[in-house]
């Protein structure tokens, strides 16, 4: 049986246009055809540098500058990070749970070893039922 190896790649959609349940951010959306998050995650090299239109539920929002959101894919545990330039678009901190329609450019980013280490250290921060310190 083959085991899937963990590939540390962050797929980022650098967005210029976003609609979150009626609220518009950025420029007008120009694309008509939607791309599934699943198809981007399955073949990231096919979409790298391309402009796409995706739709999904907002899973998380940057609580600092409001400069990113995580958008859910079509199946469980699929998500894509949507990043904007700081200050260009500020996502409302209460956008979690809303549906977003996002147009932007896909970029495949491989975090450095230091960034990966920091991510693992912060993985169970906060109110996490898996962390006995926060139960």
- HEC string of 36-88 equals CHHHHHHCHHHHCCCEEEEEEEEEEECCCCCCEEEEECCCCCCEEEEECCCCC
The reply to whether 81 falls in a domain is yes
The reply to whether 127 falls in a domain is no
Greatest Cα pair distance, the chain, in angstroms, is 48
Residue 97: count of CB within 10 angstroms of its CB: 10
Q: What is the pLDDT of residues 34-92, one digit of tens each?
A: 999 999 999 988 998 999 999 999 999 999 888 889 999 999 889 999 988 877 888 88
Highest-scoring range by mean pLDDT, 1-10, 85-94, 117-126: 85-94
The reply to whether 135 falls in a domain is no
User: What range defines the domain where residue 14 resides?
Assistant: 10-114
7, pLDDT greater than 80? no
112, pLDDT greater than 60? yes
The reply to whether 18 falls in a domain is yes
Question: Residue 66's closest CA among 45, 43, 96, 36?
Answer: 96
pLDDT, averaged across the chain? 75
115, pLDDT greater than 70? no
Distance between CA atoms of 37 and 81, rounded to whole angstroms? 10
The reply to whether 132 falls in a domain is no
User: Which pLDDT score is estimated for 123?
Assistant: 47
User: Which pLDDT score is estimated for 85?
Assistant: 80
For residue 76, the domain's CATH number is: 2.40.50
Q: What is the domain count for the chain?
A: 1
The reply to whether 86 falls in a domain is yes
Residue 131: band (very low, low, confident or very high) from pLDDT cuts 50, 70, 90: very low
The residue ranking higher by pLDDT, 114 or 7, is 114
CB contact at 8 A, 55 and 39: no
């Amino acid at each position: 049986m083959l085991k899937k190896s963990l590939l540390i790649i962050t797929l980022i959609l650098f967005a210029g246009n976003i609609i979150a349940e009626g609220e518009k951010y950025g420029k007008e959306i120009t694309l008509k055809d939607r791309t599934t998050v699943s198809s981007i995650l399955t073949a990231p090299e096919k979409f790298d540098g391309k402009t796409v239109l995706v739709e999904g539920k907002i899973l998380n929002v940057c609580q600092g500058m409001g400069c990113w959101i995580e958008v859910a894919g079509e199946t469980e545990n699929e998500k894509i990070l949507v990043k904007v330039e700081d200050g260009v678009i500020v996502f409302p901190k209460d956008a979690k749970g809303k549906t977003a329609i996002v147009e932007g450019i896909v970029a495949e980013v491989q975090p450095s070893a230091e960034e990966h280490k920091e991510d693992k250290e912060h993985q169970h921060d906060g109110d996490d039922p898996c962390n006995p310190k926060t139960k």
